[in-house]
């Protein structure tokens, strides 16, 4: 897990298993972090760079096209 993800997990520790939702920007949003939060009954949403580690390869899209990716409970649009 990245250092930024470890920071989020550390801050959320007292809120695990309580159903909170964490909003992150693209510096903190990683698929592994989402998996870890989901495993502790927390949800997350935020922006993400498609080139980040853990994201699937993306082909060039035309303006207005949307790409989608799903892995278990994680959905990226």
Write the pLDDT tens digit of every residue in 58-74. Answer: 777 788 888 778 888 88
CB 35 within 8 A of CB 75: no
User: Could you report the per-residue pLDDT of 32-52, keeping only the tens digit for each?
Assistant: 889 999 999 999 988 877 777
The answer to whether the Cα torsion of 46, 73, 71, 8 is positive or negative is positive
**Mean of the per-residue pLDDT values of the chain:** 86
Terminus-to-terminus CA distance in the chain, angstroms?
A: 22
Q: pLDDT class for 2, splitting at 50, 70, 90?
A: confident
Q: Which domain holds residue 33?
A: 3-76
Tell if the pTM clears 0.85, that is, is over it. Answer: no
* Secondary-structure percent of the chain, ordered helix, strand, coil, rounded to 5: 30, 20, 55
Q: Total domain count for the chain?
A: 1
CB 52 within 8 A of CB 27: no
Rg (CA), the chain: 13
């Amino acid at each position: 897990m990245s250092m930024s993800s470890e920071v989020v997990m550390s801050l959320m520790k007292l809120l695990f298993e309580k159903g909170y939702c964490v909003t992150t920007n693209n510096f903190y949003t990683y698929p592994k972090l989402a998996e870890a939060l989901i495993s502790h009954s927390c949800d997350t949403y935020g922006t993400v760079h498609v080139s980040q580690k853990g994201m699937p390869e993306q082909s060039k899209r035309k303006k207005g096209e949307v790409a989608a990716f799903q892995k278990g409970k994680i959905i990226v649009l």
